[in-house]
Structure formats: C-alpha cells, structure tokens
Amino acid sequence: MRGLIWLLVLAALIDITVFGLTDLDEGFYASVAWEMHQRRDWLTPTFQDQPWFEKPPLLYWLMQLSMRLFEPFPRRWVSEEFVLRLPSVVMYALTLVALGIWGNRRLGEGAGTRAALLFAIAPLSLILARLAITDVALTFFLLMALIALWELPHRPLLWSLVGGGALGLAVLTKGPFGLGLVGLLYLLSLRGLLERGVRFRWVLAALGVALLTAAPWYLGVYLQHGAEFFNEFVVKQNLLRFAGGDTAHSVLPLIQRGGAQSVITGVAVYLLFYVVVLWLGGFPMAAWASGLWRRAEEPLMGYLQRWCWLVFGLFTLSFTKLPAYIFPMFPALALLTALEMQKASQAGRLRWIGGLPALLWGGLGVAVGVMSATPWAYALLLGAGAIALAGMGGWQPRWALALGVLGLAVGWNGALTGYDRLALKPVRELAQAVPTYRTLVLYRVNPGYPSLQFYRKGKYATADDWQTVGHRMRTEGAYCLTTDATRLEDPAVLLLERREVLGRTFYLLAPRYQ
C-alpha cells in the first residue's frame, strides 16, 4: 500500500504541470504571490498593486520560496504551474505521512497506511492537491494540531510546541477560524482529555506558541494598514463570509429571491450541500460512513468523530458554501474509515453502498468518454470501479486496488490535460498575445481571469462599461478581451484573434489607428 501512496504523490507532481492556472482563487493567489515576489515584500499581499487581504500570507510565502528556489532554472525545465503548485503537493505528501505514522501507532499496524491511502484517493483530495490554494496546507496544519492535542500527556513540551506552531501556521494560512475549531474541539472533548492527563497549562502553552507564531504578521499589517485591514479581512472575509456575505458562493440570494421553488431549493442546498460533497468528494469513504455515528468503542474514535461532526456541522450552518470548506475533516474521516474497514474485513462483511458513488463517477467517465472518445475517461471509469470493488472487501483483492489507483492516476492526468486544452489554454494564449507594456482590459468576461495577470506579467484591468474600455484603448493603446460580439462593429477597434472556449467565443481587440 505504501507504494501506491507514493505513486499518487508522484502523479500529483506530474499533473500540476499539464494544466494552466484556474480562476478565480488560484488565479488571484498566483498573481498576489508574483507581485509580492517582484517587490520582495513579505508583509502586504497586493493585487494590481493594491492591498489584497482576502487571505493571510502563508501560501504566498510558500509560493515565493518556491519561486526563489526554482528561479535559476529555465522555464522549459520547470513550468510556472509546477513552481506555484509545489507547496500544495508537499502538504499533501506530509498529510499522508502524518496519517500513516500516527494512525499505525494509535490504531494498529496497517490502519494508518490504509487511512493515508483513503485520504489520497478521495476525489476532493486529488483535486485540491493539484491547485495552488490554501486548503491542503490548512488541513495538514489542523491535523498536526489534533495529533498534538491528543499526544500532550506523553511529551508535553514537545507537543505543546508542535501543536501551537501548527495552529499558528493554520491561522496564517486561512485566518482565525482554525483556532476557533480546535478550541471548540478541546471544549467538546474536555472530559476525555482530562482523563488522559491533558493539563490546562499545556494547552495554554500551546495557545501561546500559536499566538507568537501568527501575531507578528497580523500586528505588523494592522499597524501599516489599520482599519482597511480590519474591515476587509476580519469583518468581510471572515464574519460576513460565514453569514453569507460572499454572494458568489452564498445560498442567501437564492432563498431571498422569493417564490416557493426558490426557497425550497435554497433550503435544500443549505442543508444538503455538504452531504453531497462528502458522499462524492470522499469516495470510497462514503461506503464506511457509519464510523461517523457508531458508538465509540475507544476514546480516540470519539475524539475523531467529534472533529468530523464539528467541521461538518459548522460549515453546514454557514450560508457560504464551497466544497473545500469541509476538507479538514477528511484526515479524521479516513482514520475512522480505516478502523471500520479493518473490523469489517475481520468479520467478512462487505459494503455495497460504496458502489453508488463509484457508479456516478464511472457514469461520468462513460459519458465523457463517449462524447470525446478519449482513453483517459475510460481509465477513470476503470479506476473508480476497481477501487469500489476493492473497498467493498476492505481493500481485497489487492490487484483490484492497484489497478484502481493506476486507473485514477492515468484518468486524472488525461482529464486535466483535456480540461486545459478545452477551457484554459485558448484564453491564456489570447492574453499572452498582448505586449506586456500594454494594458489588457477584460470586458464582459465572466468569471474574470485574474490568472492572466500572472501569465502576462503586465498591466491588467476590468471594466463594466464600453465607454471606459474605449477611452483606455484610445488614450493608452490598451487591448480588450471580451465575449461581446457586438463590439466588432465598432470602427475604432480591430479584431486580432478569436478563440472558442466551451461554447463561448472570446475576442481580442486592439485600437484601430487612422
């Protein structure tokens, strides 16, 4: 099994080079990290030279370190996507190592390895490990904080430092919400932790380490930007986002639209969104989800259950929904699933429900394969089916498991390559055709493409009205990227190129000089 785990890490390293940066989040993070790298600034994240306080800086720092490490290498050897996404793959690998070592130690030999493989092949893990976003790093740091809290009685000084440092890094990755989650877990598990010998002074020491780790950046950026930082990061990006203030990902607009159908649909999405994410994104762990509510036979099982329900419950209550929000529960779910599979294997039981998410993934592979006649879609189908077969029998037979992992690796690589060719590369090439000394203005391009800021290494802007675009083209010689075909009739513009992208036509326009 260990060989299969490292095969998945190797596949992730290969895959991050085969498709371009996606938008919106990955595009923003890459552009912000590039601007910080250009200015040699480690304090203030910026986008288009304006402060950008959507996320704390740790991911940007990791990207900058990766940029500096690979800066001497020619781009034909090391792609820009590899450099930016490498931190996510490293965090993915570290999560697998932590699950394997700690799971084998606390749940029995082989259980941790099984949990690591379950986490590694979950569709949500396969996706997030290949993106330059914050979620894999946050999940690793929170996992280390959970392990440290459980291990405190054995070596208090060491685990206070490890747990506090990990928690501080989690706060530097995605904000203070991680600190609140671990704090709630401590309160919910207080009785059991006290019985294990966890002392409050050790927890307090870990909290102090966390504050010392995270506070310097927060204090420094607040002293420099004051209310602007507080209002944008604390109020808007944390408090209001939980309450549904992020309208792009909130169910509130659907509920508030009025009408019985909209209200019923909105409430259903609000309550069931993460049930679907867990069932499909956590395949094949969905086959063994009874570990989440089964009576805990040992304290560690109850501890892991509380963490899973805490993450799942809090984000179900949130009006803003994104699949990655519940990702921090996946390592604990993998450990619980490994226990369930171990018991079922010993008792000779199968879990046929595992075939249901596999059937959906496989059906998607068949549909795409028929439409595109691509072998990778069938590899994805074969991989999902083989893993479902092995999972039903508690990872037996082993040949099916190995075949499934190989099929997933081949299928994901093909899927990502095809996705880049169909959806990303055409727009990227249009943007890169614009000279870097000219401004590229996006007009009626939804969603926006902040990744173009990174790829062009030049000026980039968006506009909501044609008058603004026309003025910039006349006065600055700006170029325009748009999907509005009516602008081709404007005698003041010249069509340079057009590209078809998933049923939409993108036009690159330049000013026409008389």
Tokens 């009739």 sit on residue = 489
Using DSSP's 3-state secondary structure scheme, residue 140 falls into: helix
Please say whether the beta carbons of 479 and 501 come within 8 A.
Answer: no
In this predicted structure, the answer to whether residue 289 has a pLDDT above a threshold of 70 is: yes
Average pLDDT in the 466-480 region?
Answer: 94
Enclosing domain of residue 491 = 433-511
How deeply is 76 buried, as exposed, middle or buried, from its count of CB atoms within 10 A (0-12, 13-18, 19+)? exposed
Locate 490 and state its tokens: 């404007």
CA–CA separation, 362 and 387 (whole Å)? 11
Helix, strand or coil for residue 171?
Answer: helix
Average pLDDT over residues 334-346: 85
Residue pair 183/144 in contact by the 8 Å Cβ criterion: no
Query: Over 60: is that where the pLDDT of 365 sits?
Result: no
Q: How would you classify the pairing of strands 479-482 and 440-443?
A: parallel
Q: Which of 244-258, 267-281, 300-314 has the lowest mean pLDDT?
A: 244-258
Rounded CA-CA distance 39/37 in Å is 5
| Residue 458: predicted pLDDT | 84
**Is the bond preceding residue 426 a cis peptide, omega within 30 degrees?**
no
Position 104 scores a pLDDT of 95
What DSSP element (H or E) covers 479?
strand 479-482
Tell me, yes or no, whether 234 lies in a domain: no
Do 221 and 58 touch, CB atoms closer than 8 A?
Answer: no
Predicted confidence at residue 368, as pLDDT, reads: 54
Q: Do 409 and 18 touch, CB atoms closer than 8 A?
A: no
CB 32 within 8 A of CB 432: no
Residue 94 lies inside a defined structural domain of this protein = no
DSSP helix/strand/coil, 52: coil
* Alpha-carbon gap, residue 54 to 175, rounded angstroms: 9
For residue 172, tell me if it sits in a domain.
Answer: no
| Pick from 109-118, 327-336, 403-412, 498-507: least confident | 403-412
Asked whether the beta carbons of 166 and 141 are under 8 A apart, the reply is: yes
pLDDT of res. 466: 94
Residue 373 pLDDT > 70: no
Q: Is residue 375 in a domain?
A: no
Position 155 pLDDT exceeds 60: yes
pLDDT at 270: 85
pLDDT in tens, 491-509: 999 999 999 998 899 999 9
Is residue 301 situated within a structural domain?
no
Given this model, what pLDDT does residue 42 score?
93
231-235, 394-398, 440-444, 510-514, range with greatest mean pLDDT: 440-444
- Give the mean pLDDT of the chain: 88
**Token representation of residue 453:** 């800021």
Distance CA 232, CA 214 (A): 18
The pTM of this model reads 0.93
Q: Is the per-residue pLDDT at 366 higher than 60?
A: no
State percent of the chain over pLDDT 70: 91
Average confidence (pLDDT) over 247-276: 77
Q: Kindly state the DSSP code that residue 1 receives in the 8-state scheme.
A: -
Confidence of residue 350 (pLDDT cuts 50, 70, 90): low
- The residue with greater pLDDT, 3 or 166, is 166
pLDDT score recorded for residue 457: 85
Which of 130-134, 230-234, 318-322 has the largest mean confidence? 130-134
Contact criterion met (CB below 8 Å) for 474 and 435: no
HSE, side-chain direction, 13 A CA sphere, residue 184: 15
Cross-strand partners of 440 = 460, 479
**Segments in 16-108 forming alpha helices (H):** 25-39, 58-70, 80-107
Within a domain: 491: yes
Q: What is the 3-state secondary structure (H, E, C) of 194-262?
A: HHHCCCHHHHHHHHHHHHHHHHHHHHHHHHHHCHHHHHHHHHHHHHHHHCCCCHHHECHHHHHCCCHHH
For the segment 4-61, what is each residue's pLDDT rounded down to a tens digit? Answer: 999 999 999 999 999 999 998 999 999 999 999 999 999 999 998 899 999 999 999 9
Task: Give the model's pLDDT for residue 232.
Answer: 85
CATH number at residue 457: 3.40.190.10
Residue 451 three-state SS: helix
Beta bridge partners of 218: none
- Predicted confidence (pLDDT) per residue in 296-313, tens digit: 888 999 999 999 999 999
Going by pLDDT thresholds of 50, 70 and 90, the confidence category of residue 513 is confident
Distance CA 174, CA 157 (A): 26
39-48 pLDDT, tens digit per residue, is 999 999 999 8
**DSSP for 304-322, written as a single string:** HHHHHHHHHHHHHHSSB--
pLDDT exceeds cutoff 70 at 264:
yes
Return the residue matching tokens 């409050």: 200
Number of structural domains in the chain: 1
Of 394-408, 456-470, 483-497, the least confident: 394-408
- The tokens 């892991």 sit on which residue? 304
Cα separation, 60 vs 39, in Å, equals: 13
On whether residue 192 sits in a domain, the answer given is: no
Instruction: Note whether residue 472 is domain-resident.
Output: yes
In what helix (H) or strand (E) does residue 303 lie, and over which residues does it extend?
Answer: helix 299-317
